[in-house]
Amino acid sequence: MIPVNQPLLDGNEKKYLNECIDTGWISSEGPFIKQFEETFAARVNRKYGIAVCNGSAALDIAVAALRLGPGDEVILPSFTIISCAAAIVRMGATPVVIDSDPVTWNMDVSLLEKKITPKTKAIMPVHIYGLPVNMEPLMKLAKKHGLKIIEDAAEMHGQTFKGLPCGSFGDISAFSFYPNKHITTGEGGMLVTDDEELAERCRSLRNLCFQPKRRFVHEELGWNMRMTNLQAALGIAQLERLSLFVEKKRKMGKFYTELLKNVEGIELPLSKTEYSENIYWVYGLVIKDSVRFDAQEAMAKLSEKGIGTRPFFWPMHEQPVFHKMQLFLNEKYPVAERLARRGFYIPSGLALTEDQMQEVVQAVKDIFAR
């Protein structure tokens, strides 16, 4: 079986992990945490980094840190991971979703303004699968209407929008270090911001809102969402090779595109837009409407041939859990719905070899052959 993702851990990972074990620093008190936060934040031109236990937790903290709550609306794409909408809902705020662009798969920024109401407090752009959201018009709208930006850059390590790093656009921006991201800490996440007060609030929320003076007296509820020194050790080793990883992913993306471009029945990821070059977090395929089978069936066929795949996101407006909360009832977003039904991704991990990619391509060609 060719797995859909396998990370590359052949740099200084072992060395730094051994340091944790040799020195006994394995909790969130260890010295690698601060080093990772500082190096990572600098990498995306931000003043502060706050390391957390995963990317979903980063979003939870971001929404809480901005004090969004009941009566507040936050606009985000329907086509994203549950973590984004969950963070909003858990704080009692209302998620408002918009459809995506059929070609970049990112939120269609031209649909944003229509959704802005007097209750709108923030926008949560989510960069999808390797290409960023069109941030320029989004930033303009946010400024015009006084809205905060929570940027979900979980899939965008090393990516830029018009030359500026993804993760440098939000009032607060979130990253994930899950093993399928460009750099991994096993589980892990990071918030970055330039706002000192917001950074301090994030640190407090991540650490149960313990107070510096009277530790066990709490003014507010936080969470234990701390990252461990072991995770940060991995993170530092991975970060050393981020540019290399991005280069490798781009090469892999180009390789797949070259070999798949003449296959009938599938749409391939865009290699670039006017503002960014794809970093292929994952290599997605969308099955054309003329093909009789959908993504689910294609994935089953590929699985029989030993190829691991994953479906695209299932839209937020079609989630049973949100319908039970009376959210998004009878809302329709045709692009997101189509991507969910006809989209899936093929093996795209950093440890994938060219031979494996050839094998994947052959299997894809076989199932789409007439």
For ligand PLP, the binding residues (CB under 6 A) are: 54-56, 80-81, 83, 126, 152, 154-155, 176, 178, 189
Contacts of 313 (CB under 8 A, 6+ apart): 79, 80, 81, 339, 340
CB 256 within 8 A of CB 278: no
Which helix (H) or strand (E) element contains residue 75?
strand 73-77
DSSP category for residue 124: -
Give the CB-side neighbour count of residue 297, counting CA atoms within 13 A: 8
Nearer to ligand PLP, 80 or 104 (CB): 80
Separation CA 68–CA 60 (nearest Å): 11
Minimum Å gap between C-beta 58 and ligand PLP is 7
Minimum Å gap between C-beta 89 and ligand PLP is 15
What is the β-pairing status of strands 160-161 and 189-193?
unpaired
Separation CA 17–CA 219 (nearest Å): 36
Nearer to ligand PLP, 91 or 367 (CB): 91
Residue ranges of the alpha helices (H) in the chain? 13-23, 31-43, 55-65, 82-90, 135-145, 196-206, 229-239, 242-260, 295-304, 320-323, 334-342, 354-368
Nearer to ligand PLP, 345 or 368 (CB): 345
Minimum Å gap between C-beta 189 and ligand PLP is 5
Nearer to ligand PLP, 58 or 363 (CB): 58
Minimum Å gap between C-beta 282 and ligand PLP is 9
Nearer to ligand PLP, 80 or 193 (CB): 80
Minimum Å gap between C-beta 320 and ligand PLP is 20
Minimum Å gap between C-beta 309 and ligand PLP is 16
Contacts of 78 (CB under 8 A, 6+ apart): 97, 98, 99, 100, 315, 316, 317, 318, 328, 333, 336
Separation CA 13–CA 298 (nearest Å): 37
Nearer to ligand PLP, 126 or 192 (CB): 126
Minimum Å gap between C-beta 165 and ligand PLP is 16
Give the CB-side neighbour count of residue 140, counting CA atoms within 13 A: 7
Minimum Å gap between C-beta 162 and ligand PLP is 21
| Residue at shortest CB range from ligand PLP | 55
Nearer to ligand PLP, 73 or 152 (CB): 152
Nearest residue to 129 (alpha-carbon basis) of 352, 351, 363, 339: 339
Nearer to ligand PLP, 28 or 80 (CB): 80
